[in-house]
Amino acid sequence: MTTDENEEKLLRSVTLQNARSILATRQQAEQQLVQAKEALELRTNELAHSLEMMRAILESTAEGILATDDGGTVTGFNQNYIEMWRMPRETLDSLEHNQLLEVCARILKDPEQFHLRVKDIHASSPSESYDLLELLDGRVIERLSRIQRIDGRNVGRVWSFRDISERKRAEEALQKQSERWRVTLSSIADAVITTDAGGRVDTLNESAASMTGWTEHEAHAIPLNSVFRIIDEQTRQPVENPVTRALHEQRIVRLSNDTVLIAKDGTERAIDQSAAPIKDDRGNVNGVVLIFRDVTEARRAAQAHLRLSAIVESSDDAIISKSLDGIIVSWNKGAERLYGYTVQEVVGKPLSILIPPDHQDELTAIMDQLKRGERIEHFETKRLRKDGRLIDVSLTISPVKGTDGRIIGASKIARDITGRKQAEHTARFLADTSAALAELTDYESTLQKVASLAVPFFADGCAVDIQDADGSLRRLAVTHTDPAKVQLLRELDRRYPPRLSERHGIMEVLRSGKPEWAPIITDSLLRDSIQEQEHLSLVRELGLKSYICVPLKSRTRVLGALTFVTAQSGRIYDTTHVRVAVDLAHRAVIAIENASLLAALKESDRHKDEFLAMLAHELRNPLAPIRNAVQILHVKGPPVPELQWAREVIDRQVQQMTRLVDDLLDVSRISRGRIDLRKEQMELATVVSSAVEASRPLIEKWGHDLVVSVPPEPIHLEADLARLSQVLSNLLNNAAKYTNPGGRIWLTAERQSGQVLIRVRDTGIGIPKEMLGRIFEMFKQVDRSLDRAQGGLGIGLTLVQRLVEMHGGSIKAHSAGPGKGSEFVLRLPLALEVVRPPTPNPVVQENITPPVICRILVVDDNQDSADSIAILLRSMGNEVYTAYDGLQAVSLAAEFQPDIVLLDIGLPTLNGYEAARQIRQQPGGQDRMLIALTGWGQDEDHRRSKEAGFDHHLTKPVDFTVLRQLLSTIRMRKHPERRSAKP
Ligand code: ADP
């Protein structure tokens, strides 16, 4: 082979090889092209698919999407975008971003800012940018733009817009809400701490900060146990934190009331707390909220309340509260005891159920007072128990005010004063009994009084039995509230008198001298003590409930017994009643003893009065003949001066003695109530002149100066002239006696409101202060050692006082002391009216009466007396006979036919009354004047002498003036023609 050939062959082979290679390459290229075409088709399809996908995604997203290229041409958008910006279609046709921006800016709140921002993004081209856009219609749109890069090349931007108006609103609402919570938490008084799930402090409000002493900042993330330290108030031991439990138990935890919180600075506060877990939507606990509050004050108040409640409950008093309309609101144990109702029974009921029907009007009065805000203190009244029993209570009621100061009700404290009232009643009863008994003077009426006083206060029935000296029993008094039972009690005593052998009842009390008491009388008790059937049934009729029998024990013996029983009243006697009964018996015995002492005293006083009367009477008898004898000496005696002197001495002394004896007699008569006043209307002037007349000799004897001052107008009195002038004369005589010679005596009278005031004053020796009240006592004299020449018996003032009192007046002695003179002030009632003119002066009449001649029989067993009267009467010219006993008097009267018989009463053989009767029966006896002449001058004596037929009654020693007057009346009878001769 050649080179050419070779070359050619080589060329050909190369060409062929090239052709083959080209062909292969072509084929390969064609194949690749096909493949590429296929791949392209595939890619195109895929691209179309993914574009579709893209579009679908773009349309399905909630955001508005806009895509632009770098040149500001819009390359894509979705439907949301159009709707969000309310983009008109034609604007989109231009696909100009700027035009779109214009449209958007129109509905924005701040379009300017928007444009600037977009411009800035284009200029600085940040890969991402974000904005919030506020639209005029209130929507808020979130804008996000991002550069799109394909293979690292910037191909434009995607602008996405999301309408976040809803979210924004929700966020704002949430923010507001949490702000509200924050404000609320900080403003509430409760302390609030929140923790996370690990129990570390998250938040802490202001109250919690002030109570714990931790600020929120300090406390944040600190374990709660350090911030919130609590202990038990009583034990002072740490208390388990409620948060721990709330986290653990996943429920609300409330802690005991006795917890005390210790603040950072050590301050302690009583708190009340609760903790609640905070759970999320799924129920997981992610924290705890702890709420607590300061209850120091509340706890103190609660404790005070508890203490008060305890006091109220333990009080013995009933403590009740009620509303203003009278409804019971609270009720303590004391009220339960007092009224018998339980709380359940009365709370809510009207208070009126406790008030007895006749006290209902009290409620209105009380309510009125309470409504005025006034308190009612210690108001004593009656209330009604549940069992219907009335009780004495003392009420203190105060208005209760609400927090606003208005009255909302009342609290009432009621104290049972039944016991006190009972004691008061008993004391009063015993005091009344003593007072009533003190007035009694005999023992039977004393005991009857006891029986009547005891019923019904102390008993329903009372019997008084007396043991006589022989041991026999006498029922002195029976009383009972039921009159039928009185009969029954008497009947029982009559038919079944207590037997000596009885070992119980009255007999036993009398024997032992000790009280017997049966608080409750049961039927078996009756059956045991009463054997006889009929007796038993009678006793049953009494319906006895309770019984006490007490002895009437004097110092020396048991006088009897008091029996007290209760029946229909249902009262039960207790030991207090026994004591009262014993006391009552004691008082009765004292009264009995007093009565018998008084009786004995009266008896001896009566003996004394009788003795004095007898003494005076007996003294008077010898005085009469002495006086008569002096009269005879006066008329018949020789005119020898010595005898004249002796006669005058005897006369004066006899007068003095007569006065003394008369006073003595009068006093004893007054003491025995045997003096009667012969009262008549008269003028004071008459009394005064009569008294002055009587006392003048004594006053003159001592050389005193007497000043009498009586009002000129008449002062009328209703008085016994003789007695009243005796009073004044006594006072004048005393003034004369107890004043040194040459003194002065005043007698003055003045009217003073329905009375006349008479004063007898002197310049005498006076009366010591301590004697002023006593000189009126009988026989009382200031100085017994006084010269007795003018002294008396010390009965003058006694007589004066008694006579003044009998005239309805009074007398008092005054003196500045010894040597200072005395004054006696006498008060007498004035007469109501004047009915008679003053009686003419009898003395004048006597003076003009001439002597009378009569036949007179004088009868007296005291011969001196009879004879001396006879001599005097004869000296007047009369024919006089004397007799010395009754029988002699009667026979002499028959023999001599006297005109006048002067007859003593106490005569031998025949007394004066009998002699008078017989003399009257004698022929001509009716015409005789019979004059009783006796020492006895009382009304009773006057009455008896009148009955016996006497015409007159004269007391010894005979007053010759009066006797002469009587004789003149006989003269009238004998010589009536001489009457006309009178001037
Ligand atoms: P009597 O004068 O008989 O002693 P009274 O009863 O008249 O009894 O008086 C009692 C006493 O009162 C007198 O003893 C005298 O001490 C005192 N007395 C009475 N009147 C006066 C008087 N006017 N001045 C001083 N003492 C008087």
Q: Is 727 in the pocket of ligand 1 (CB under 6 A)?
A: no
Give residue 837's pLDDT band: very low, low, confident or very high (50, 70, 90): very low
Instruction: Please state whether the peptide bond connecting residue 88 to the residue before it is cis, i.e. omega within 30 degrees of 0.
Output: no
Give residue 110's pLDDT band: very low, low, confident or very high (50, 70, 90): very high
Out of 695, 738, 772, mutate this one to test ligand 1's pocket (max ligand atoms within 8 Å of CB): namely 738
Among the listed ranges 642-646, 775-779, 782-786, 801-805, which one has the minimum average pLDDT value? 782-786
**pLDDT the model gives residue 732:** 95
Contacts of 85 (CB under 8 A, 6+ apart): 64, 100, 103, 104, 107, 161
Q: Is 821 in the pocket of ligand 1 (CB under 6 A)?
A: no
Give the rounded percent of residues in the chain with a pLDDT score beyond 70: 95
Give the rounded percent of residues in the chain with a pLDDT score beyond 90: 28
Ligand 1 centroid, distance to 475 Cα (angstroms): 53
Average pLDDT over residues 230-244: 87
Out of 660, 726, 734, mutate this one to test ligand 1's pocket (max ligand atoms within 8 Å of CB): namely 734
Q: What are the helix (H) ranges across 897-952?
A: 912-921, 939-947
Average pLDDT over residues 277-283: 86
Ligand 1 centroid, distance to 776 Cα (angstroms): 9
Among the listed ranges 337-341, 785-789, 811-815, 895-899, which one has the minimum average pLDDT value? 785-789
**pLDDT the model gives residue 838:** 45
Lookup: tokens for 223 = 């374990």
98, 155, 160 from 71: Cα distances, Å? 11, 10, 18
In this predicted model, what pLDDT tens digit does every residue of 492-517 receive, in sequence order? 888 888 887 777 888 889 889 999 99
> If 0-12 CB within 10 Å is exposed, 13-18 middle and 19+ buried, where does residue 263 land?
middle
Out of 780, 797, 804, mutate this one to test ligand 1's pocket (max ligand atoms within 8 Å of CB): namely 797
- Say if residue 818's pLDDT is above 80: yes
Ligand 1 centroid, distance to 935 Cα (angstroms): 27
Q: Is 290 in the pocket of ligand 1 (CB under 6 A)?
A: no
Q: Which among 346, 427, 351 is positioned nearest to 393, based on CA atoms?
A: 351
Residue with tokens 């701040």: 110
**pLDDT the model gives residue 971:** 60
In this predicted model, what pLDDT tens digit does every residue of 521-561 receive, in sequence order? 989 888 888 888 998 998 898 899 999 999 999 888 888 99
For 899, the 3-state DSSP assignment is coil
**pLDDT the model gives residue 700:** 92
Q: What are the helix (H) ranges across 755-854?
A: 796-806, 842-848
Average pLDDT over residues 332-341: 92
Q: Is 795 in the pocket of ligand 1 (CB under 6 A)?
A: yes
Q: Is 409 in the pocket of ligand 1 (CB under 6 A)?
A: no
Lookup: tokens for 110 = 């701040």
Strand partners, 551: 561
Average pLDDT over residues 832-847: 45
Residue nearest to atom 23 of ligand 1 (CA): 735
Q: Is 392 in the pocket of ligand 1 (CB under 6 A)?
A: no
Residue nearest to atom 7 of ligand 1 (CA): 796
Residue with tokens 């602008």: 159
Ligand 1 centroid, distance to 796 Cα (angstroms): 8
Ligand 1 centroid, distance to 618 Cα (angstroms): 26
Cite the beta strand spans of 257-317 per DSSP E.
259-262, 268-279, 285-294
**pLDDT the model gives residue 833:** 58
**pLDDT the model gives residue 326:** 86
In this predicted model, what pLDDT tens digit does every residue of 698-714 receive, in sequence order? 899 899 999 999 888 88
Q: Give, as one character, the DSSP assignment of residue 771.
A: G
Whole-model pTM: value is 0.44
- Say if residue 941's pLDDT is above 90: no
**The ligand 1 atom nearest the CA atom of 782:** 16
> If 0-12 CB within 10 Å is exposed, 13-18 middle and 19+ buried, where does residue 856 land?
buried
**The ligand 1 atom nearest the CA atom of 783:** 16
Residue nearest to atom 20 of ligand 1 (CA): 734
Residue nearest to atom 18 of ligand 1 (CA): 734
**pLDDT the model gives residue 201:** 93
Residue nearest to atom 1 of ligand 1 (CA): 794
Q: Is 767 in the pocket of ligand 1 (CB under 6 A)?
A: yes
Compute the mean pLDDT over every residue in the chain, rounded to the nearest whole number.
85
